[in-house]
């Protein structure tokens, strides 16, 4: 598929490799029994239910596409009978005050600056990767970042705190901020 991001493509490739390892190589191999067996196979390797569900979502997407393209009969769709739980993701904890203070006190480096910048802006790693000077807007001492989110394509505007501006200014000579 050409309509998916590289990270999604990586997941789809991993799912395809696991299907092949399990002996499922063609759409005709996607029977209810084989999907149940595949579920047990990936459950041994992937302990988190959301990861297992993600694998099934990928397979189900391609089964649906194959059904729509008449490569697989509608009644042959194993996901008409097989259901899976999405599970619950682990609750992510925020950095505590001591961890934040320790991060800020680290000697300046690109890695440290990216982490501190994300801390003060809330910007995602993917959005941070694509920042350029074009994303900056200055009005006196006020500085904003504007751009499109990489994942959703939604517009964002972030007012920068002085700590984030300091980091931006440190990389003023670079093409990417």
pLDDT 10s digits, 32-59: 999 999 999 999 999 899 999 999 999 9
Q: Stretch 10-17: mean pLDDT, rounded?
A: 96
Q: Stretch 94-103: mean pLDDT, rounded?
A: 93
Closest Cα partner for 168 from 124, 132, 139, 122?
Answer: 132
Percent of the chain with pLDDT over 90: 71
Q: How far apart are CA 117 and CA 125, in angstroms?
A: 10
| pLDDT single digits (tens) 110-154 | 999 999 999 999 999 999 998 988 999 999 889 999 999 988 889
- Cβ-proximal residues to 120 (8 Å cutoff; 6+ apart), any chain: 160, 161, 163, 164, 167
Q: Name the residue with tokens 């003060």.
A: 120
| pLDDT single digits (tens) 14-24 | 999 999 999 99
Helix (H, G, I), strand (E, B) or coil at 154: coil
- Cβ-proximal residues to 121 (8 Å cutoff; 6+ apart), any chain: 145, 158, 160, 161, 164
At 41, which helix (H) or strand (E)?
A: helix 32-45
Q: How far apart are CA 79 and CA 58, in angstroms?
A: 12
Residue 81 pLDDT > 90 = yes
- Radius of gyration over alpha carbons of the chain, in Å? 23
């Amino acid at each position: 598929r050409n309509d998916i991001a590289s990270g999604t493509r990586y997941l789809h490739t991993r799912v395809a490799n696991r299907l092949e390892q399990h002996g499922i190589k063609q759409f005709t191999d996607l029977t209810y029994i084989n999907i149940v067996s595949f579920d047990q196979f990936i459950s041994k390797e992937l302990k988190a239910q959301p990861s297992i569900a993600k694998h099934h979502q990928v397979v189900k997407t391609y089964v649906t596409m194959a059904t729509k393209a008449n490569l697989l009969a509608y009644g042959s769709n194993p996901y008409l009978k097989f259901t899976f739980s999405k599970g619950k993701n682990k609750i992510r904890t925020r950095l505590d005050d001591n961890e934040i203070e320790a991060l800020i006190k680290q000697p300046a480096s690109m890695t440290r600056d990216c982490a501190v910048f994300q801390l003060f802006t809330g910007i995602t790693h993917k959005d941070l990767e694509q920042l350029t000077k074009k994303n900056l807007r200055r009005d006196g001492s006020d500085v904003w970042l504007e751009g499109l989110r990489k994942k959703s394509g939604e517009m964002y505007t972030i007012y920068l705190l002085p700590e984030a501006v300091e980091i931006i200014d440190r990389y003023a000579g670079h093409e990417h901020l």
